[in-house]
Each structure stands twice: as C-alpha cells, then as structure tokens.
Amino acid sequence: MLLEMPRHTEIFGSVKVHELQRVLKLDSGGFENPRAKDISSEELKGVLKRSAIVVPVKNENLNLLDGVLRAIPFDCSIIVVSNSERVSQDTYKMERELVTNTHDLTQQEILIIHQKDPGLGSAFHEVGYEEILEKEKLDGKEAGEEAGEEAGEEAGEETGKEKKEWLVRDGKSEGMIIGMLLAKSLGKDFIGFADADNFVPGAVREYVMDFAAGFCMSESPFSMVRLHWRYKPKVVEDKLYFKKWGRVSETTNKYLNLLISTCTGFETGVVITGNAGEHALTTRLADLMCYSTGYTIEPYHFVFLFDKFGPREAEESAEKVGAEKAGAEKAGAEKAGTEKGGTEKASSEAANAGIEIFQIETLNPHLHEEKGEAHINEMLTGSLRMVYNCRLCNDYVKSKVLAELEGLEALQEDWEARSRWKGKPSHIMPPVGRIDVGKFMKVLKSSSESLLRCKQGATKCEVVERGRGEKKNETSSFYRP
Ligand code: GDP
Ligand code: CO
C-alpha cells in the first residue's frame, strides 16, 4: 500500500494527532520515496493476522451484512455483535445463519453474539462491569442481589431467572465494547470496527487495509487509526453528488480543533475524523480508554484522550473544574481495587510512549444506509455535548458551543432537551482493561444462548450450549450468500 506521509503532527500533551494522509495506491511497488510510505503486503498481512474486526449490527439489510462479511480480509477474525430484532421476526437467527454459511464456504474465523443475551449481561455483572448494564434493571435488583448471587454459584442453571435481570443496554458503543472483549479473548492485538450498513464491499476491504497500514506506521503500542471518507455520495435531483463533508463531522471537528487551539494558542484544523465510525485501535489503547455511550463513542475518544493525556498545565488548571468529571473511571477503578493499579500503570506507560492518532483518507467513497434527520441531530448534539464537558473546555469554547447549539433547529422548540443537554454525559463506561477476560468468557460460555464461534479452517461452527458448557456443530441452509 502507498500512503502519503503526514505533513504535520500536532503534539498535544502525550497525544500525537497526525494530519490527514491520503491513500495513494492500494498496492505499491516497493520503491524508495521520501514523500510516501510504502507498506508491503507481507507487513499488512502480519497485522491483519493479529486483528479482529468488530461489526456492530442492528436490523440492517442482510445483503449488506453479507457483503461486509465477505469483504473483510481472510486473515482477520470477524466479530459480529447484533442488537437486531428477535421477537416479532427473528432477524438475529437469519444473521447467525448467514455467519455459519459464510464460514462454511470460506473457513474464516467468525464469532457472533446477541447484545441482549442474558448470559452476556450476567458475564458483565460477574466481572463487575455494571456500567454497561440497563440501569432500571440494576436498581430494581439491588435489594436481593447478594443472596441471589451466592445461591447462583452453587445452583447453576436454576438461577437462570434471576440472571435474566442483567441485560446490556442498547447502543452501538455498548455493542462495540462486547466486540472488544471477544477480540481480547481471541488474544488479538488490534481491534477495528466496520459498520454493517455499507453498500460497497470493496470499500470495507479497503478500510481494513487502511487500519493495518496505520498500525504498520505506528511507533507507539498505543495507537488509533481513524478513517476520513474521500466522499460521501448523495443522490441530489436523481444524480450522484460526491459530497465531501457531512454536517455532523464538520461541526464536531470544528469544536475539537477549537479545544486544541485555545489550549496551545495556535489555531489548528488537524482533527478531521471526530465522528469516524470506521476506526481501529491497539488492544493496549482499547484497554485503558473510557467509552461514551451510543453514537458519541467516537468524538469522546478525542475528549477522553485530551482530558487524560492532554497538556499537563491545562490539566492542572482544569483540575478543580474537572475533578468530578474523571468520575466514571475513578469510581470503576476504585471498585476494582488492584486492577486500578494495572490501568494506571498502563496509562503512565502510554503517557511516556505517546498516543498516536492516524487519520487516513480512503480511496473509496463511503456509501451507507441513510438513517434520517433525527439520527443526525442526535449525533450532532451528542458530539457537542462531549466537547462542552471536556475538562479542557474553557469558557470561550463553551460559549461557542452554546451558540452553535442555539442555531440548531432541532433544539429550538425543545427547551427541556436544551436544559438536559448541558449536564454531564450520563454513561461514561470505565476502561475494559480492568475486566478479567478469562472469568468473563467462562461465565459467558456457560450461560450464553447466542454465542457462536466458527473457527478458522474448521468446517463446522461451535455452538456454546447454555448451561452444559458443551459444544455441538451447526450448519444451516437458510440464507445462502
Ligand atoms: P452511522 O453510520 O454513524 O450514521 O450510524 P448507523 O446507524 O449506520 O450505525 C452504525 C452501525 O452500528 C450499523 O452497522 C448499525 O447497524 C449498528 N448499530 C446501531 N445501533 C446498534 C446497537 O444498539 N447495537 C449494535 N450492536 N449495533 C448497532
Ligand atoms: Co451507517
């Protein structure tokens, strides 16, 4: 692969944000070139083998999911995390059949799980990662919790009813966290994300190669690759218009850049991937980050990194304001006792090594299912809210963000939404590094009813049967790609 060198790197505390790099060619000739980085296919393959690609999916067209599964390079493991309908129409069953068929034909490693699997909720509960669970259920259960838990350990199956109480919340971000844990259970070093609603399989393949290229360039074990679409084509008066910027990303980037500019005193436009849904990170970085809920996960990556690894002086002056904002991680880590030490140690290692963010402009355009105005507004207000609540956000940036908000039609009428908006983001989930993955998988394997693992090279998939911990083979002919 041949990529442009980044022209400039913004150093913001321990965070290094590389300026946009274009993909010059999807392959390369192996020639020396001071202006471009040549990455051989062997190098890329080496990274792909250590990567898992998580595909979050919620009621997407199966033909699109099919294209995505077939486009992801063979050397990666695929992890599908579904929050699709199971009641009126069992979409999850169809997705699962698609997975087994794809695996039967390709022998690529693919895992699939359902987000609302009660066994999955129990596994998170057992390892103490309650921040991902539905709140109402938690509140309702607190009283009888202790007794239930103890009995549960001895009685196994019979506590099924109580364990049903633990369910993972809805949300793309929550699905992504599930995917990260499964990737860790496979021992992967790199975790990437690809949406299931992509119309062009060839583009998905490129995204994964771009991730790998980013990791090949990285000098730090704590790095992240974020993609910027070359174009996001739209149909305008029955013609394809190759649009460059979306409204949400333009606004998010503007304010993330303003955060950096006001801190350093030098104006910058370095951030152009604030809302990059397609991104990847090293497992070591994934382990120590906090995650925001739903669609705000991507802009929050920056906010978290600025807060935690941004310039020291700014951090100290913002200490008073932000003391309680570090809340989620602190509370979680304290609960985890010694694990706090682990995360803290990793964080100081990261601060020393530096955190690298690569922003790569894809060669392929991004064509995906359009989800409507409400979705766009939700993403926009969510992203602004993240910036507003950043520890480094001074009064000037706050006033600018508020002014932006004033102009938003969606919030013109809805005063209640406006007042709620300024509050602290509600669900910031602590680092997954503190989760004991072995324990998590043990509980998951013994209580999950939706987890399916199709290993590389095997001709049949392993179904983990609930309660029995034994496996049977599954093949299906329902949906043939
Ligand atoms: P956009 O592309 O950023 O506008 O957002 P999409 O609505 O396309 O969502 C991105 C991906 O996340 C798609 O593949 C969705 O199917 C998937 N997704 C959305 N909500 C959920 C959810 O609650 N859980 C999971 N697992 N996936 C979700
Ligand atoms: Co989409």
Nearest-angstrom CA–CA distance, 187 and 178: 15
Q: How far is the CA of 125 from the centre of ligand 2 (A)?
A: 30
The three-state DSSP-derived secondary structure of 5-51 is CCCCEEEECCEEEECCEEEEECCCCCCCCCCEEECCHHHHHHHHHCE
Q: Is the pLDDT of residue 431 over 80?
A: yes
Tokens at 438, concatenated: 């072995």
Supply 364's token pair: 């392929």
The mean pLDDT value for 40-56 works out to 98
Letter string b/e over residues 117-153, b meaning 16 or more CB atoms within 10 A of that residue's CB: bbbbbbbbbbbbbbbbbbeeebeeeeeeeeeeeeebe
Highest-pLDDT range among 67-71, 136-140, 367-371: 67-71
Residue from 53, 57, 59, 66 to probe ligand 1 pocket by mutation (most atoms less than 8 Å from CB): 57
User: Cα separation of 154 and 277, whole Å?
Assistant: 43
Q: Which stretches of 332-389 are assigned E, i.e. beta strand?
A: 355-361
How far apart, in whole angstroms, are the C-alpha atoms of residue 54 and residue 148? 33
Tell me if 91 CB under 6 Å of ligand 1.
no
137 band by pLDDT with thresholds 50, 70 and 90: low
Whether 207 has a pLDDT exceeding 90, the answer reads: yes
Mutate to test the pocket of ligand 1, among 172, 182, 248, 297 (most ligand atoms within 8 A of CB): 172
Closest CA to 397 of 314, 289, 329: 314
For residue 197, give the ligand 1 atom closest to its CA.
Answer: 14
Distance CA 9, CA 331 (A): 34
Instruction: State the Cα–Cα distance between residues 57 and 426, nearest whole angstrom.
Output: 23
Task: Please tell me the predicted confidence (pLDDT) of residue 213.
Answer: 98
What pLDDT score does 289 carry? 96
- Among residues 106, 361, 46, 91, the alpha carbon closest in space to that of 225 is found at 361
> What is the whole-number distance in angstroms between the Cα of residue 312 and the centre of ligand 1?
36
Residue 467 has a pLDDT of 44
Q: Are strands 77-82 and 110-114 parallel, antiparallel or unpaired?
A: parallel
pLDDT given for residue 84 in this prediction: 98
Checking if the pLDDT of 240 tops 50, the result is yes
Q: What is the pLDDT of residues 292-306, one digit of tens each?
A: 987 889 999 999 999
Each residue of 441-450: pLDDT tens digit?
A: 999 999 999 9
- Given a contact cutoff of 8 angstroms between Cβ atoms, the answer to whether 152 and 123 are in contact is no
Distance 57 CA to ligand 1 centre (A): 6
DSSP, residue by residue, 442-470: HHHHHH-SS-EEE-TT-SSEEEE-TTT--
pLDDT band at 231 (very low <50, low <70, confident <90, very high): confident
User: DSSP assignment of 372-386, as one string?
Assistant: -HHHHHHHHHHHHHH
Q: Is the pLDDT of residue 404 over 70?
A: yes
- Higher confidence at residue 241 or residue 415? 241
Rounded Cα–Cα distance for residues 463 and 281 (Å)? 29
* Predicted confidence (pLDDT) per residue in 313-327, tens digit: 545 544 544 444 455
Query: Is residue 175 within 6 Å of ligand 1 at its C-beta?
Result: yes
9 C-alpha to center of ligand 1: Å?
31
Cα distances (angstroms) measured from residue 73 to each of 44, 55, 106, 207, 467: 11, 13, 11, 10, 34
Rounded Cα distance between 319 and 309, Å, is 13
- pLDDT reading at 236 higher than 90: no
Helix (H, G, I), strand (E, B) or coil at 182: helix
Q: Has residue 416 got a pLDDT over 70?
A: no
Distance 58 CA to ligand 1 centre (A): 6
Q: Is the CB of 83 under 6 A from ligand 1?
A: yes
| Cα(309)–Cα(353) distance, integer angstroms | 11
* Cα end-to-end distance, the chain, whole Å: 30
Q: Kindly state the tokens that stand for 348.
A: 């100081």
Q: 63-119: per-residue pLDDT in tens?
A: 999 999 999 999 999 999 999 999 889 999 999 999 999 999 999 999 999 999 999
- Rounded to the nearest integer, the mean pLDDT of the chain is 85
Q: Rounded mean pLDDT of 268-276?
A: 93
Q: Residue 102: what pLDDT?
A: 96
Q: What is the arithmetic mean of pLDDT over 22-32?
A: 94
pTM: 0.87
Residue 272: closest CA among 316, 226, 305, 311: 226
Distance CA 343, CA 94 (A): 39
Question: 371 CB under 6 A from ligand 1?
Answer: yes
Give the integer Cα–Cα distance in Å for 461 and 36. Answer: 43
Pairing between β-strand 232-236 and β-strand 15-18 as defined by DSSP bridges: unpaired
Residue among 53, 63, 61, 65 nearest 110 (CA): 53
The response to whether residue 81 sits with its C-beta less than 6 Å from ligand 1 reads yes
Q: Is the pLDDT of residue 477 over 60?
A: no
Ligand 1 pocket test, candidate residues 65, 91, 197, 227, most atoms within 8 A of CB: 197
Q: Looking at ligand 1, which residue's alpha carbon is closest to its atom 3? A: 277
Which ligand is the nearest neighbour of the Cα of 79? Answer: 1
| Range name among 139-143, 191-195, 380-384 with the lowest pLDDT average | 139-143
Whether ligand 1 lies within 6 angstroms of the CB of 249 is answered as: no
> CA 347, CA 339: separation in Å to the nearest integer?
12
pLDDT at 470 over 70: no
